[in-house]
Copies of this chain bind each other. A is one copy, B any other.
Amino acid sequence: VNPKTLGSKRIAETLPELRSIKLILAYDGTAYVGWQRQRSGPSLQAALERSLARITGEKTHAVASGRTDAGVHALGQVVSFHTQSRLSPEIFQKALNSDLPRDMAVVSAEEAPPGFHAIRHAVRKRYRYVIHDGSNPDVFGRNYAWHYRSRLNAELMHQAARGWLGTHDFRSFESHWPQRRTSVRTIFDVSAVRRPPPDEDRIDFEVQADGFLYNMVRTMVGTLVEVGRGYRPVEWPAEVVAAQLRKAAGMKAPAHGLFLVNVDYE
C-alpha cells in the first residue's frame, strides 16, 4: 500500500491497524523552498518524511495544516501522518529530534483523534510577522524579521489593523495564485505591538483568523507599514478591504519575517 495514493480517511478505513500521530513542529524556513515537496530544492515535508522513513522503515506521507512558503518559519505547525509503528508519541518526538536537521524540531507529539485531518479540521490559525525598525542591521535576527530602515508608528499600525476585525472579503490581500472558492475570511484577533526594552526595535504584528488567502499576511504587513511610516491615514487599510482589488493594497512584505504561530482544531 502506498499511502500517497490514498486519502487519509480511506487509509483509516481499509487499514484499521494504522495509527495517526499529530506533531507540533517548529522550523526555521530559511534553507527551504517551503513546506511542500518540490523539485526546485529542499522542502520541510521531504526532510520530515525522510526522518520518519529512517525511524519507522515505512514510506510515510506527512500532512501539514497548510503550506508555508520559502523562508517562512513556524513555531507551531501541525502535521499528521499514519504509521503501522508501535512507537509511543514520546519516542517519536525524541527520535525525530535526534534525526531531523537542526533547523527543524518537534515541540510535541500525540496520538491524533480518530479521523483527524490537519488541513480539513483546522478552525483557526495565528500568524506573527516581525518587523525590525532599528537603524543598525540585527545580525542574529536577520532571517527572522523584516528590517525596515525607518522608524514606524506601531500605535497607528495597531489602530489601522483593528479595522480588519470581523468577517470581510479580503481579496485585496490575495495574490492571484491559487484561486480559492471564496475570499471571505473572519479575523478573530489582530494587533501590532512594539516590544518593551531591550527589544524596542521590534514590532510584532499578529493576526488570528479562520483561514488565510495566499500571501494575505505579508500583504497586510506591506499595507500597514504605509500607515506606520505616515504615508497613508489610519483609515486607509479598511478602505483597501472595501476596494476588493489587489492593486489597492501595499507591497508584499518579505517572507522571512513571517511565523506560523499555532493552529486550533475543533
Give the interface of A toward B (CB within 8 A).
26-28, 73, 97, 102-107, 136-140, 142, 144
Contact = CB atoms under 8 A, between A and B. Distances in A.
B73 A104 contact: no
Secondary structure at chain A's binding surface: helix, strand, loop or mixed?
loop
A42 to B, nearest CB: 15
Enumerate the 4 nearest inter-chain pairs by beta-carbon distance, A residue then B residue, closest first: A105-B137, A28-B139, A102-B142, A105-B139
A215 to B, nearest CB: 23
* Oligomeric state, in copies: 2
B140 A28 contact: yes
Contacts of A104: 139
Contacts of A28: 139-140, 142
Contacts of A142: 28, 102-103
Given A28-B139, A105-B139, A140-B144, 20 more contacts: A26-B136, A26-B139, A26-B140, A27-B139, A28-B140, A28-B142, A73-B140, A97-B136, A97-B137, A102-B137, A102-B139, A102-B142, A103-B139, A103-B142, A104-B139, A105-B136, A105-B137, A105-B138, A106-B136, A107-B136
Nearest to A28: B139
Most buried by B among A103, A138, A140: A140
Q: Which of A26, A105, A136, A139 has the most CB of B within 10 A?
A: A139
Nearest to A26: B139
A139 B26 CA distance: 7
A97 to B, nearest CB: 6
A106 B139 CA distance: 10
A106 B137 CA distance: 8
A105 B28 CA distance: 22
Contacts of A103: 139, 142
A140 to B, nearest CB: 6
Contacts of A26: 136, 139-140
